[in-house]
């Protein structure tokens, strides 16, 4: 299986601390570590194990957990001030929705948050862990939402951020699949009582690309991109009664 640069942030050492958008292009050593990560801990439950234990031991209440991939991870890294007390980031670079389903218990439900913000699908389209159809991605998003609702957690289902191409996956045309997933997500949220969070109007060009002034690589938001996203999310969090 060929994987791309967002598929792995580095399994060991300081690599996990690198900004998501700054990962190096894949090479043999990168590929070897990525494949070892997939073999040893496919959903990467170990990524936040220590943080989860510390959070649980603190006894602090959790308002909302952000579940996602490098775009969620990058939000915390580039805009840590947005993550007020009670806001917990659980994004992992390169992850696909089936991996996130397996992380829901440890990284979300165990913290008993009031809400979960789910933003995923980019790496499914890229095929980071193999071929995943749009329907399968939607099933996995529904599974995460169902797990959350079953635990009494409110669901904020976010749009897949726009992108016209993936630098680590030449030949993939993501605009159509992104639009299909987002159409499904919007309708699913309306049907199930989840809250639809649509970042498309502030991030996307008319042709479905990321606005060039909001991203360096067409996929990962810059600080300005995250600030634009915050203008969409903050009023929603306020309506939910969360501190803003």
Question: Which residue ranges make up each domain of the chain?
Answer: 5-239
Both tokens of 233, joined, read: 């999310």
- pLDDT tens for each residue of 78-133: 999 999 999 999 999 999 999 999 999 999 999 999 999 999 999 999 999 999 99
Predicted local confidence at residue 15, as pLDDT: 35
pLDDT digits (tens, 9 = 90+) for 172-212: 999 999 999 999 999 999 999 999 999 999 999 999 999 99
Q: What is the DSSP letter of 208?
A: S
C-alpha pair distances (Å), 154 with each of 108, 160, 178, 188: 12, 19, 24, 14
Sequence-distant (6+) residues with CB within 8 A of 205 are 162, 211
0.75 surpassed by pTM: yes
Output the pLDDT for position 26: 52
Residue whose entry in the numeric block shows the structure tokens 């634009």:
228
pLDDT in tens, 138-183: 999 999 999 999 999 999 999 999 999 999 999 999 999 999 999 9
pLDDT digit string (tens) for 49-76? 999 999 999 999 999 999 999 999 999 9
**Topology classification of domain 5-239:** Rossmann fold (3.40.50)
């Amino acid at each position: 299986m060929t994987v791309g640069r967002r598929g792995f942030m580095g399994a060991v050492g300081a690599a996990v601390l690198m900004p998501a958008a700054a990962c190096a292009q894949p090479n043999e050593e990168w590929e070897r570590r990525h494949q070892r990560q997939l073999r040893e801990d496919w959903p990467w439950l170990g990524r936040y194990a220590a943080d989860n234990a510390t959070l649980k031991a603190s006894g602090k209440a959790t308002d909302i957990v952000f579940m996602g991939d490098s775009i969620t991870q990058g939000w915390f890294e580039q805009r840590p001030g947005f993550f007020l007390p009670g806001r917990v980031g659980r994004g992992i670079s390169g992850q696909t929705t089936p991996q996130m389903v397996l992380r829901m218990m440890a990284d979300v439900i165990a913290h008993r948050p009031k809400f979960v913000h789910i933003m995923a699908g980019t790496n499914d389209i890229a095929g980071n862990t193999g071929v995943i159809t749009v329907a399968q991605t939607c099933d996995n998003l529904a599974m995460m939402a169902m797990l959350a609702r079953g635990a009494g957690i409110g669901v904020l289902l976010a749009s897949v951020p726009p992108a016209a191409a993936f630098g680590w996956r030449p030949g993939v045309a993501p605009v159509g699949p992104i639009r299909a997933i987002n159409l499904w997500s919007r309708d699913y949220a309306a049907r199930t009582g989840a809250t639809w969070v649509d970042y498309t109007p502030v991030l996307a060009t008319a042709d479905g690309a990321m606005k060039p002034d909001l991203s360096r690589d067409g996929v990962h938001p810059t600080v300005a991109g995250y600030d634009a996203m915050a203008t969409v999310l903050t009023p929603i969090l306020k309506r939910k009664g969360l501190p803003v």
